[in-house]
Amino acid sequence: MPPVPKPAYEPRSWEEVPCPLCGSGRSRLYERFGWRLRFTYQSCLDCGLVYQSPRPRYDDDFVRAAYGDYFTFSEGFRPGDPVNHATQANWEELVVEMAAFDARRSAVLDVGSCMGNFLLAARPLWKRAEGVEVSEKMRAFVEREIGVRVHGERFETLRPEGRYSCIHMSHVIEHVPDPSAWMVRARELLEEGGLLVVAVPNMLSLDRRWQLALKRAGLRRGEWKDPSRTPDHLFEPTIPSMLRFLDRHGFEVVSHYTYSRSDETSRRPFNRLYRRRLLLGSNARFYARLRPGASGV
């Protein structure tokens, strides 16, 4: 029996928002996208972020439409499963690189821990490894299969027993209506001089630039065929906007580069040029250290 098609997503209401990273109200139209091109990206004229405005109001209806499949997570992964060895090797390479930036390695917090791949790789290198995950099913799965604590609170209101020498956020902050609240909480939860590692999509990747050029030339419409799909990325980061955002919140960026899922640290010969020097990869990662006196505690 063929799958039952999902109903079209119809936002109950829309909201105009300023730039989520710098708060500026100065913007210009970047592109229209989605089913029937109903959604709008603006480009911030001050920091360069690409963000949705107007956007569907961030309410329970939007969360169900955007993340319903995420919350019905089906257990298909097990630590050490041979089919995941290549993926897990990438995570292990990443955490070794991260550990080199965190001399203390007292505790690491993975925000949006999902199926626990990062925590599985990080657990041997830090004295304490913990996660934050809003999906109850995923949280229970990681605690059972990997044996680390996973908090169920929202990150901006999280109040753990101790602080962390390192906080890791991979492809979660672009889903957050108020990313500044996350930076405030990160400052409060990090030890003095602690490390924040943030990975996000790169809106200025070569692939995204090429797609936009074709669209503006009329050679590509860029319209989604699935009417039930929602734009769950509330904004699309760029490297300049993220550098400015982190600096404004008391973090000094000590390293940044772009990468792909198949080479998380962009160490292969071609990727050193294409993704590390030219910054044209599809994702971007930032290593940022909390400046002295910037802690919120």
With CA atoms as reference, report the closest residue to 239 among 285, 293, 195, 193.
285
Low-confidence spans in the chain with pLDDT less than 70: 1-4, 70-85, 296-297
Sign of the Cα torsion 90, 125, 291, 113 reads: positive
Tokens found for residue 277:
């020097």
- Domain residue ranges of the chain, discontinuous segments joined by +: 14-290
The pLDDT tens digits for 47-71 are: 999 999 999 999 988 988 888 776 6
| Residues 259-297: b if buried by 16+ CB within 10 A, e if exposed | bbeebbbbeeeebeebbbeebbbbbbbbbbbbeeebbee
Beta bridge partner(s), residue 151: 132
The H or E element spanning position 52 is strand 50-52
Domain at 14-290, CATH homologous superfamily: Vaccinia Virus protein VP39 (3.40.50.150)
User: Residue 145 CB: number of other CB atoms within 10 A?
Assistant: 16
Residues 6+ apart with CB under 8 A from 60: none
Q: Are 150 and 130 in contact (CB under 8 A)?
A: yes
